[in-house]
Amino acid sequence: MPHVVTQSCVGDGSCVYACPVNCIQPTPDDPAFELAEMLHVDPTTCVDCGACTTACPVDAIKPHTRLTEEERAFEVINAAYHAQARGPRAKMAPVRPVLEVRDRGEALRVAIVGSGPAAMYAAEEVLTVPGAQVSVYERMPTPYGLVRTGVAPDHRRTRRVSRQLDAVRRHPGLTMHLGVEIGRDVTHEALLRTHHAVIYAVGAAVDRRLDIPGADLPGAMTATQVVGWYTGHPDHAGRAVNLSARRAVVIGNGNVALDIARILTMDPEALADSEVAPAALRALRASRIEEVVVVARRGPERSAFTLPELVGLRGTPGVALHVLPEDLAGAPDGDPKIELLRDLAPDASGRRVTLRYGLTPAAVRGDAGSVSAVTFDRTGGGGTETIDAGLLVTSIGYRGTPLGQLPFDDARGVVPNEDGRVVDPATGAAVPGTYVAGWIKRGPSGFIGTNRGCSQDTVAALVADYNAGRLVTPPDAPRGAGPGRGAAGTPPRGLLRIARGR
């Protein structure tokens, strides 16, 4: 009875470390890990101990006998991954090198800006240092970044990752300051007066913009606006989304585009007991949308969505998924996403999501001042095509924004860094005591759990700098922290070897 990884996998690797026979791949030390669409249990070597199910923060792993009909696809996906020749593998999963912390006779104090996954995984890692104190500063009134304001409300299991982040938050060495925006309410310099180092884990908050005529018409929205509307992000409270037309167009076909298409077409009653914003639920109940067309510039073999998300969309009750046969003609055989698209059964019932390919947006048409259609050029020549729609959502990626005086790579939308150390690109020198983790460090890609290794790498660089005396002792006591407050114990003297708890 092998276990099976299913759709909500967030790729944090907890299961890999829990598995006694290293049957879950790829492992975090594998270059394929960061790009993997999910992790996979090898059914031929799984010993059915269930350790992975306990370790998984989002209940993504099930014994194969407990899969739902729709989840059966994941049995095939897990097995197919391992069926490909991948060479011999180690008997045990790799263990990351331990953090070695030099005792400087003072508690390590780190400020972390942001409280999304990257911030909380960084806090978890810093707090493995005995006596360490972490102050988390979050500009929003609620913590956890996109876990709360990005992950779709119907992805209930994925949202359970917040329980893992809650456990980090409860650590006595951590103090959470909500509603504090660094750069506005508190300066970088002020943080360095009370902490050895500052880690910025502020995410990539803005959308890449589509620069075509009409893109600013009413009825044209970005993914951030629509996602913020349905997840109840305070920045988007009171926003109206035009659901009065029969068709919406989403430009871009990554997982966020599929989330938006699914939320706009699924039965709103299936969202009623979720964390969907009440105003969005009311609007969805009155929605007239019958079809969402998800449009990509390139062909189906370059689809940006992941296979698990496609499986999930296909299995959404009351939503018919369509692809035009001509869009699949010429697509290569053997690609599991394309095979799944080819196998879609014709279904005229309910609302529909149509995936379109090979269309480059050219102009947004307006009628009485709001969106009425979108015109596309067929990619590679072959004329134009116009799709009528009353709502347009662009979902073509995210980028970070500059942070005060910190260096910024405007082309990539990230803070320039080496292993998480912020560097001045003009001189190549590290900015003292200043680090980045998560999307602002490496750009907007990967899953929630991808940020774990990313943050661990940053903390490893920070601790190396602390050991080498490159982090100066902060002159002031932390704000509101009396002696010993929040500390997990007095750090013992000498060189500490810190085992990583997982």
Ligand X SMILES: Cc1cc2nc3c(=O)[nH]c(=O)nc-3n(C[C@H](O)[C@H](O)[C@H](O)COP(=O)(O)OP(=O)(O)OC[C@H]3O[C@@H](n4cnc5c(N)ncnc54)[C@H](O)[C@@H]3O)c2cc1C
**Which positions lie near ligand X, rule CB under 6 A?**
10, 113-119, 137-140, 145-146, 150-151, 155, 158, 181-183, 201-203, 227, 256, 259, 438-439, 446-448, 451
Tell me how far, at minimum, the Cβ of 265 lies from ligand X, in Å: 17
Q: Which residue is nearest to ligand X (CB)?
A: 116
Tell me how far, at minimum, the Cβ of 420 lies from ligand X, in Å: 12
Q: Is 106 or 189 the residue whose CB approaches ligand X more closely?
A: 189
How far is residue 489 from each of residues 45, 173, 494, measured CA to CA in Å? Answer: 42, 9, 15
Helix (H, G, I), strand (E, B), or coil: what is residue 292? strand
Strand 417-418 and strand 398-399: the pairing is unpaired
Ranges of beta strands (E only) in 368-416 are 370-378, 384-388, 391-394, 398-399
Q: What DSSP string describes 169-205?
A: HTSTTEEEEET--BTTTB-HHHHHHH-SEEEE-----
The helix or strand, by DSSP H or E, that contains position 278, with its residue range, turns out to be helix 278-285
Tell me how far, at minimum, the Cβ of 401 lies from ligand X, in Å: 8
Please report the sign of the dihedral spanned by the C-alpha atoms of residue 207, residue 213, residue 215, residue 217.
Answer: positive
Q: Which of 126, 43, 69 is nearest to 52 (CA)?
A: 43
Tell me how far, at minimum, the Cβ of 126 lies from ligand X, in Å: 15
Which amino acid type is present at position 201? A
Tell me how far, at minimum, the Cβ of 120 lies from ligand X, in Å: 8
Q: Is 12 or 327 the residue whose CB approaches ligand X more closely?
A: 12
Q: Is 18 or 227 the residue whose CB approaches ligand X more closely?
A: 227
Q: What DSSP string describes 431-451?
A: EEEEEE-THHHH-S-S-TTHH
Q: Is 261 or 387 the residue whose CB approaches ligand X more closely?
A: 261
How far is residue 1's CA from residue 66's CA, in Å, rounded to a whole number?
Answer: 10
Tell me how far, at minimum, the Cβ of 372 lies from ligand X, in Å: 27
Q: Is 37 or 327 the residue whose CB approaches ligand X more closely?
A: 37
The H helix count followed by the E strand count for the chain is: 16, 24
Q: Is 155 or 247 the residue whose CB approaches ligand X more closely?
A: 155
Tell me how far, at minimum, the Cβ of 266 lies from ligand X, in Å: 15
| Contact between 253 and 294 (Cβ < 8 Å) | yes
Q: Is 376 or 408 the residue whose CB approaches ligand X more closely?
A: 408
Tell me how far, at minimum, the Cβ of 153 lies from ligand X, in Å: 11
Structure tokens at 335: 């690609």
Q: Is 162 or 242 the residue whose CB approaches ligand X more closely?
A: 162
